[in-house]
Structure 1
Amino acid sequence: MKQTAIALAAGLIFGAGLAVSGMADPQRVQAFLDLFGAWDPTLAFVMGGAMIPMAIAWVVQRRMAAPVAASRFDLPGTNRIDPRLAIGALVFGAGWGIGGLCPGPAIADLAIAPAPAAMFIAAMLAGMAVHRFAIR
């Protein structure tokens, strides 16, 4: 129950941050990615600003014996960049540029613009299913 409450609170804070920062607005995201047109640099400040609390979180995590809601930390290892990772990043970036959304903002947009967000999420889930059953 405690883990669920913490996850829900973190998700609500994350979603609110996406909405307040404009990262859930597809037009703003596309304007940010339009480097040679009407470029909007505001999301660069959002992303740069996100690095500050993350750096603090890593410092705090190193000093903790265990997380608040678990018996131990379960952190992923570092992997080398391989072709699968590079291709996945390119596909993700292309989808982000075309749709103006990525998974987090799309879910947050269900509260702001439900119909377009639902279409994006349906397509995203279909792509995930194709990957799971056809590629693996």
Structure 2
Amino acid sequence: MKNLSSFISGLVFGIGLLLAGMANPAKVLGFLDLAGIWDPSLALVMGGAIAVGLVAFTLAKRRSDSLLQVRMQLPNSRVIDQPLVVGALLFGIGWGIAGVCPGPAIVAMGAGIPQALIFVAAMMTGMLAFELRKSYIQRKRAAHA
């Protein structure tokens, strides 16, 4: 039941991203181009997502288990550190250059958009590079301890 619920949630989310235009790099870049011909339509999508997320997180904080009786793991860190800021900068720069972010890229790949495959491959390469660097730093610190 949990897997079916996850699949249906992901499917609905993906369809929503496609319908909203979030998987269309030209539309996203039009939204991000504040100095040119700005397309504000995605602001409504983001506003709706923020409103739904706010309600969902508020309700989730009042519960320990989900509706399917699965233990929820909500974020609880309030620390704004260098990895968070650098990650946010990389995300924003990548979004501005490519016009795609991870969720819509996976949806676009599933929809058969060839550029999405290149984006997802580059994204996964970056994730691997991060993990390798993190592992290297941890081993280096452990050796000096």
Q: Output the TM-score relative to the length of structure 1.
A: 0.89
Which one has more relative contact order, counting CA pairs under 8 Å at least 6 apart? 1
1:51 aligns with 2:50: yes
Supply the distance in 1 between the matched residues of 2:64 and 2:91 (Cα, whole angstroms).
Answer: 35
- State the shift of 1:72 in Å: 2.8
- State the shift of 1:60 in Å: 3.1
Supply the distance in 1 between the matched residues of 2:133 and 2:75 (Cα, whole angstroms).
Answer: 26
1:32-80 CA-to-partner distances (Å, cap 9, x unmatched) read 1111011111111110111222233234324445212344322121222
* SS of the residue 1:24 aligns to: coil
- State the shift of 1:117 in Å: 0.7
Name the structure 1 match of 2:109.
Answer: 110
Aligned CA RMSD, in angstroms, stands at: 1.7
Name the structure 2 match of 1:15.
Answer: 14
Name the structure 2 match of 1:67.
Answer: 66
Flag the structure with larger Rg: 2
CA gap 1:103/1:71 in 2 versus in 1, 3 angstroms:
closer
Supply the distance in 1 between the matched residues of 2:33 and 2:81 (Cα, whole angstroms).
Answer: 28
- State the shift of 1:114 in Å: 2.8
Name the structure 2 match of 1:39.
Answer: 38
Supply the distance in 2 between the matched residues of 1:112 and 1:77 (Cα, whole angstroms).
Answer: 34
CA gap 1:25/1:72 in 2 versus in 1, 3 angstroms:
same
- State the shift of 1:133 in Å: 0.7
Supply the distance in 2 between the matched residues of 1:65 and 1:78 (Cα, whole angstroms).
Answer: 17
Supply the distance in 2 between the matched residues of 1:68 and 1:49 (Cα, whole angstroms).
Answer: 22
Q: Which residue identity lines up with residue 80 of structure 2 in the other structure?
A: I
Q: How does 1:117-136 map to 2 (within 5 A)?
A: 117-136=116-135
Supply the distance in 1 between the matched residues of 2:114 and 2:42 (Cα, whole angstroms).
Answer: 24
Supply the distance in 1 between the matched residues of 2:51 and 2:90 (Cα, whole angstroms).
Answer: 28
Q: Which residue identity lines up with residue 92 of structure 1 in the other structure?
A: F
Q: How many residues align?
A: 135
Q: Which runs of 4+ in 1 moved over 6 A?
A: none
Q: Percent same amino acid among aligned pairs?
A: 42
CA gap 1:69/1:84 in 2 versus in 1, 3 angstroms:
same
Supply the distance in 2 between the matched residues of 1:45 and 1:122 (Cα, whole angstroms).
Answer: 30
CA gap 1:98/1:67 in 2 versus in 1, 3 angstroms:
same
Unaligned 5+ runs, structure 2 = 136-145
